[in-house]
């Protein structure tokens, strides 16, 4: 598929064998190339890649730097740090020599924000290099332990946003996965997702709706199963041909199993950075919920939270601010 003049591909193969201008390395902040994608790049491209990278480090998690690509077909390697690493060199005396060994200590796993920042900064580095083709691996999904589908959506969101908001020189972005399972998941998370965004939603700014659903002395919150993660108000995108009222009623039913009564508009939020994926304009409604609340397919969990508990939850998007604005009307 294409976004503007850039072709987006998902392929199964060895990223170190691709004839593209640059490949992205799922790096640590010290830029030491150990196992996984980094180890494969060093093995095929040579020690010189790591030596050049380490001289440019350490970097902050989420940042990216470029090096030459050694013996690889690519011209550059863009090292995008998705996690932090501490390492110490320990020496063991054994008969016949004293070989050094490196024990890696990983300072926590990666997360959505780190992967999103790493993807965004890898794209910026690619533009600085004035390259036309770039290949991504599954950032954060090896040692970082991040789910493949979530990573696919996060990186594709950053590619979409970058191409939409910038005058890009990129003509090809490739997602390269080594095994069939990862390829199948990334195809769904990249191509299917971006086709939905670019065709059904017409490229943005996107129109969304959210519902503050009152039940007793609390409101309904869902735990998102897709990035951005966190608790959120029930809601989603407005389909072509729907009114705002129809959309919020549909989304509430799909995500909470509740019917909405006494529906009324509360406020519209349009700050361009309110959604880390892309520019959305969201209209929020207030209503009472009728029925038995139950998490739908798009929700990982559901709870009715008391208004006094809101400050203790992590919310996605700008939903905490929306709820705080709502609470002012209740005071």
pLDDT tens sequence across 149-177: 999 999 999 999 999 888 999 999 999 99
Point out the residues of the chain with pLDDT beneath 50. 88-106
Q: What is the CATH number of domain 2-200?
A: 3.40.220.10
Give the whole-angstrom CA distance, residue 125 versus residue 147.
25
Model pLDDT, residue 203? 60
pLDDT tens sequence across 247-261: 999 999 999 999 999
Query: Which residue intervals of the chain bear CATH 3.90.79.10?
Result: 206-330
Give the whole-angstrom CA distance, residue 132 versus residue 150.
26
Give the whole-angstrom CA distance, residue 200 versus residue 154.
19
pLDDT tens sequence across 221-254: 999 988 999 999 999 999 888 999 999 999 999 9
What residue has token string 């509740």? 258
Convert 118-149 to b/e letters by CB count within 10 Å (16 or more is b): bbbbbbebbeebebebbbbbbbbbbbbebebb
Model pLDDT, residue 251? 95
Query: Which residue intervals of the chain bear CATH 3.40.220.10?
Result: 2-200
Q: Where are the beta strands (DSSP E) in 21-140?
A: 22-28, 64-68, 76-83, 85-91, 100-106, 133-136
Taking the chain, what is the end-to-end CA distance rounded to the nearest angstrom? 51
**Planar angle of CA 320, 152, 8, nearest 5 degrees:** 120
CATH class of domain segment(s) 206-330 = alpha beta
Model pLDDT, residue 205? 84
């Amino acid at each position: 598929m294409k976004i503007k003049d850039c072709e987006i591909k998902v392929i199964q193969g060895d990223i170190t064998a691709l004839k593209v201008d640059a490949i992205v390395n799922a790096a640590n902040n010290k830029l030491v190339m150990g196992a996984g994608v980094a180890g494969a790049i060093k093995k095929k491209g040579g020690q010189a890649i790591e030596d050049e990278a380490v001289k440019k480090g350490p970097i902050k998690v989420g940042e990216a730097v470029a090096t030459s690509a050694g013996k690889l077909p690519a011209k550059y390697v863009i090292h995008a740090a998705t996690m932090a690493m501490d390492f110490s060199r320990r020496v063991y005396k054994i008969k016949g020599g004293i070989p050094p060994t490196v024990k890696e200590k990983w300072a926590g796993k990666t997360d959505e924000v780190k992967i999103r920042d790493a993807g965004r900064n890898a794209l910026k580095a690619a533009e600085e290099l004035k390259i036309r083709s770039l290949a991504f691996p599954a950032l954060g999904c090896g040692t970082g332990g991040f789910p493949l589908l979530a990573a696919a959506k996060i990186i594709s969101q950053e590619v979409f946003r970058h191409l939409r908001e910038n005058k890009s020189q990129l003509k090809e972005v490739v997602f390269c996965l080594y095994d069939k399972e990862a390829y199948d998941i990334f195809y769904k998370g990249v191509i299917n997702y971006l086709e939905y965004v670019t065709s059904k939603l017409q490229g943005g700014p996107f129109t969304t709706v959210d519902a503050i659903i009152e039940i007793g002395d609390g409101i309904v919150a869902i735990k998102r199963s897709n990035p951005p993660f966190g608790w959120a108000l029930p809601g989603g995108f407005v389909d072509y041909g729907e009114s705002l009222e129809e959309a919020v009623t549909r989304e509430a039913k799909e995500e909470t199993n509740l019917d909405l009564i006494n529906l009324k508009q509360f406020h519209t939020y349009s700050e361009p950075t309110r959604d880390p994926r892309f520019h959305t304009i969201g209209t929020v409604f207030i209503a009472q919920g009728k029925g038995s609340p139950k998490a739908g397919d798009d929700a990982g969990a559901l709870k009715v939270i008391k208004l006094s508990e809101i400050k203790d939850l992590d919310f996605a998007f700008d939903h905490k601010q929306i709820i705080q604005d709502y609470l002012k009307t209740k005071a």
